Structure 1
Amino acid sequence: MSLLDQFLWLIFPYIMLTLFVAGHIYRYNTDQFGWSAKSSQFLESRQLRWGSILFHWGIVFVFLGHVAGLLVPKGFYESIGITEGMYHFAAVWLGGAAGVATLIGIIMLLMRRITVRRLVVNSGISDYVVLILLTFAIGTGFTNTVGYTATGGTFDYRETIGPWIRGILTFRPAVELVAGAPLGFKIHILASFLLFGIWPFTRLVHVWSIPLEYLNRHYVVYRKMRAKKI
């Protein structure tokens, strides 16, 4: 096992997870007033509506798919009668549909942030970094699911990346399990961990502010106040 593999698949993940945990604690204790998504609806609403709906609903199902594929051992599905073919069908078609919605949504939000002048003026560097990194991570994940798995790729992430990530979380990492993964999967993993590392220092912290209610919340309505005649 090379030193590069040791860094990428052992040291780097723990650095990012440490930043994720410690960063949230620090941010909560020092910047509770900034713990929000910094709504930009009053600057532009039409693109936000569709992009936000597609992204937020899509990412929920993408997250559930990752939990099912990475954190739940393969043997569990076999024990309850879910065959490889059944799992593969759900991963490709249901996961692919969620991936399409999420990818379209984040691209819409990114293009909105880039093309709407009022948003450009009121955006910070972290806004662009988050959107670009999200787009990249989602895009590489979608490519791996549809472009590799659906076309008959033989790499089984449930027997390699799944046990590796569970080992990382339980402090029993097995670097060799992921070191031989296809390049696309490696890129997606690194982008995802980098996203975890910067998470506490961006608007992504709003995810922890009652995320389920956020999905069904009403849009904030802004009305102009007219001066009353005396």
Structure 2
Amino acid sequence: MWNNFLWVVLPYLVLASFVFGHIFRYRYDHFTVTSKSSEMIEKKQLMVGSILFHIGIIFVVGGHFIGLVIPKTWTTSIGISEHMYHIVAVGIGSVFGIMAFAGMFLLTFRRLSNDRVRMTSSIMDIIVNLALLVTLFLGMASTLFANPANPGFDYRETISIWFRQLFIFQPDASLMATVPVFFQLHIICAFIIFALFPYTRLVHAWSVPLTYLKRSYIIYRR
């Protein structure tokens, strides 16, 4: 029953929160969509941490999309062997995963250690930072430790298939029963982030500033 709740019921509860939360935020509270920058308070740590995190997370998300959404048969059909795929995935994924983790660690440390930044932070800001930090840590632990410790495990034959089944409303919870604990905890933490996503500053991710490409420069003076 616990296995079915985690891998059948919980994903749809998270999806409902994600979808309806965004609808509610847009209809009734969309003027609060902002990254709430604290650059005016402290800039150096913010710049380094933000650059590392955002560059890293873009490639991490892209790697997850390839690994979870694209079936193994597709990559094999275009000549990418399983061995080659894992070497590239682990190598490139580790580099950008470490970048994203280092950036989020710096941003979280800054938010908790700088009195002025902490005073301007909400409880939800701190929860989101910690959730992202733990999720990234568990992802790195899964890649660097859980994978080598479980040589017979292949997430593309378990997690990936279960993930794609969610979108056709036929998830098989038994596929997740043998998944290593680090992977399971990583997924559950990701669930928490997606469930909270509409109610936090993370919604600024949808506000892609395309108008910046054509607007005039804004000049700031001290």
Which TM-score band (shorter chain)? Answer: over 0.9
Distance 1:191 1:156 in 2: 20
- Structure 1 stretches of 4+ with a deviation exceeding 3 A read 211-214, 220-224
TM-aligned CA distance change 1:212 to 1:67, over 3 Å: farther
Once the two structures are TM-superposed, the CA of residue 4 in structure 1 deviates from its matched residue by 0.5
CA contact (8 A) 2:165 2:171 kept: yes
Question: 2:169 is matched with which residue?
Answer: 171
Question: 1:21 is matched with which residue?
Answer: 19
Q: How many residues align?
A: 217
Distance 2:64 2:141 in 1: 15
Distance 2:163 2:211 in 1: 29
- SS of equivalent to 1:171: coil
Distance 1:62 1:212 in 2: 22
**TM-score (normalised: structure 1):** 0.90
Match status 1:54 vs 2:42: no
Question: 1:227 is matched with which residue?
Answer: none
TM-aligned CA distance change 1:143 to 1:221, over 3 Å: farther
Q: Which amino acid aligns with 1:108?
A: L
Distance 1:142 1:211 in 2: 30
User: Structure 2 regions of 5+ residues with no counterpart?
Assistant: 213-217
Tell me which moved more, 47-56 or 149-158: 149-158
TM-aligned CA distance change 1:208 to 1:124, over 3 Å: same
CA contact (8 A) 2:60 2:96 kept: yes
Once the two structures are TM-superposed, the CA of residue 148 in structure 1 deviates from its matched residue by 2.4
Distance 1:211 1:17 in 2: 26
- SS of equivalent to 1:155: coil
Distance 1:176 1:197 in 2: 23
User: Structure 1 regions of 5+ residues with no counterpart?
Assistant: 215-219, 225-230
Q: Which amino acid aligns with 2:200?
A: T
Percentage of identical aligned residues: 43
CA contact (8 A) 2:146 2:180 kept: no
**TM-score (normalised: structure 2):** 0.93
Question: 1:68 is matched with which residue?
Answer: 66
Match status 1:158 vs 2:145: no
Once the two structures are TM-superposed, the CA of residue 149 in structure 1 deviates from its matched residue by 2.3
Distance 2:5 2:209 in 1: 33
How large is the RMSD of aligned CA atoms in angstroms? Answer: 1.7
TM-aligned CA distance change 1:54 to 1:114, over 3 Å: same
Q: Deviations over 1:82-140 (max 9, x none)?
A: 00111011111100001010000000000000111111111110010000000011110
Once the two structures are TM-superposed, the CA of residue 184 in structure 1 deviates from its matched residue by 0.7
